[in-house]
Amino acid sequence: GPQLTIRWRVEQRLGTSMLHRRLVRDYESNPQTSKSRVYQSFCASVQKA
C-alpha cells in the first residue's frame, strides 16, 4: 500500500545519501555543520535527477 511506498522512498533516499563521502563518517563536531552537509547532499541528488 501507500505506507510501504513512502517507507521505500525514505530508505532509498538515505541509501543514496551514503554515496556522499562526507556523510559516511561524522567528522564534524558541530551539529549545524552536519545538518548542512546532509542538505547539500540532498540538493545534489535532486539536481542530478
DSSP H helices, 1-49, are: 2-17, 21-24, 31-48
- Predicted pLDDT of residue 1: 59
Instruction: Find out whether 17 and 45 touch, Cβ atoms under 8 Å.
Output: yes
Q: What is the CA radius of gyration of the chain?
A: 12
Number of domain units in the chain: 1
How far is residue 16's CA from residue 3's CA, in Å, rounded to a whole number? 20
DSSP 27: -
pTM of the model: 0.53
Range of the domain at 18: 2-48
Q: pLDDT for 1-45, tens place per residue?
A: 567 777 777 777 777 777 777 777 766 677 888 888 888 888 887
Going by pLDDT thresholds of 50, 70 and 90, the confidence category of residue 49 is low
